[in-house]
Structure 1
């Protein structure tokens, strides 16, 4: 079995990559859509390399059998690398959720106070969390005033530092991915006037902007929304925020 270890590892890795990128859209949990062709290509290359490696191992084994001896190839510890490949193949990890969002303090928003383009006519207007955050914190024209907005994200909760549990504060959250899940950073909007759904639940929230703090200051962070409707929804095909 050790003789075929490298071939098995290559085949498993290639199959796992193809499983999430070619035969499903699970890859969207980890990378941007534009990287799909590269994932598929790398998966195909790994499968081909594994097949060639397996064929050469079988050929060498046949030759050694005729000569009356054989040799083991590669350390057994290398086979441990097959474990993450199997996990990705059989049960891919979920997209990043509230735990990752709460560990990251990075804020992606427009820099500096200024004006923004007018919002589309009609209410509610659909916004990304990034768009709402930028306008709430930096828009000198206060374009959110008097408008009803609608956004989709997952639920994160606020924990008290004195270990007495949460204080009822909750946030609509979405992670922004520039390249892959490793660089994910959250947008977070405090939701008021509505009970909190379970953590990590996906919801669509409709409501109105609640002014807070001075523009462009820490006092305006995080932005606030007074909710008029909170609806449970399925996780989107692409769970990450669009830039």
Structure 2
């Protein structure tokens, strides 16, 4: 077997091993019910099916490639490659293998974490690009109707209503109770925030509603339940025309499913 063939063999084994490791890690996340911290639940079944197929397929590939390598070594030995080249291949292969193994071990051992308040600040909470967060105009169309049930609306839905409607006076005084984490403001107020996941945590975007309260603001990143009513934003320089005037802010545990979709 030539040196180039040995290089291809090592890379193939490493690639198949990486696929196997990631597939096993994905199945573990699904069994542990943590997969929704990384992808939108509507893709969970598809992802788990692919992972389940990838495990036996990659194992079969590893066996075939290993046998091919064993048979190839039965032939006449060829001159060994230069020591420097061998050392470079060994180092690169070892580093890649360690990174792959480390990633999988981290997936299996370390507790999964959600995106943080600091990440929300870096990604600009409530940016204009989130004005269509609900994905449809139906809530705005029905805005003036008292028969509309808003009890299931989350932060995403209310934030979209506030941004999409041109007459925010129709929303003033509307009572609501919402849960989210705290992104502190500069004037003692804070933004009640949730991450909206379209596909996976990589594309998650923070969306939030400003909250004013007479009490001390909760700590950054703390999960709270806010009970209050929508009111005109006292900060006239802000793009957000409405905020929640909180009657009560209560600390809560992080929900089992912290994202909105």
The aligned runs of 1:62-141 (5 Å cut-off) are: 75-79=93-97, 80-91=99-110, 93-105=112-124, 106-107=127-128, 108-110=130-132, 116-117=142-143, 118-120=145-147, 125-137=151-163, 138-140=165-167
Q: Deviations over 1:121-163 (max 9, x none)?
A: 79x945311322233342526333333211111111135xxxx
* Secondary structure at the counterpart of residue 49 of structure 2: helix
- Deviations, residues 216-239 of structure 1 (Å, cap 9, x unaligned): x97441741111122222222322
Q: What corresponds to 1:12 in structure 2?
A: 21
Give the 3 Å change call, closer, same or farther, for CA 36–222 of structure 1 in structure 2: farther
Which residue, out of 200, 203, 209, partners 1:183? 203
Q: CA RMSD in A?
A: 3.6
Q: For residues 157 and 237 of structure 1, what CA distance do their matches in structure 2 show? A: 23
Structure 1 residue runs of 5 or longer lacking an equivalent are 160-166
* Matching residue of 2:171: 144
Trace 1:224-243 onto structure 2 (pairs within 5 A).
224-242=243-261
Q: Distance in 1 between matches of 2:254 and 2:246?
A: 20
Equivalent residues of 1:158, 1:170 under 8 A apart: yes
Scaled by the length of structure 1, what TM-score is found?
Answer: 0.75
Name the CA shift for 1:239/1:120 in 2 (closer, same or farther; >3 Å).
Answer: farther
4+ runs deviating over 6 angstroms: 64-69, 71-74
Residue of structure 1 equivalent to 2:219:
198
Aligned equivalents of 2:141 and 2:232: distance in 1?
A: 16
CA distance in 2, matches of 1:227, 1:110: 25
The equivalent of 2:5 in structure 1 is none
Q: Deviations over 1:184-231 (max 9, x none)?
A: 2221212111322222222111101111389xx974417411111222
Distance 1:86 1:49, change over 3 A: farther
Shift of 1:61: 7.0
CA distance in 2, matches of 1:184, 1:158: 21
**Preserved contact between residue 21 and residue 100 of structure 2 (Cα < 8 Å):** no
CA displacement at 1:60 relative to structure 2 = 5.2
**In 2, Cα distance between equivalents of 1:222 and 1:177:** 25
- Of structures 1 and 2, the larger Rg is shown by 2
Q: In 1, distance between residues paired with 2:204 and 2:196?
A: 5
Out of 183, 187, 195, which is 1:156 matched to? 183
Tell me the secondary structure at the aligned position of residue 178 of structure 1: coil
Q: d(CA) in 2 for partners of 1:203 and 1:129?
A: 12
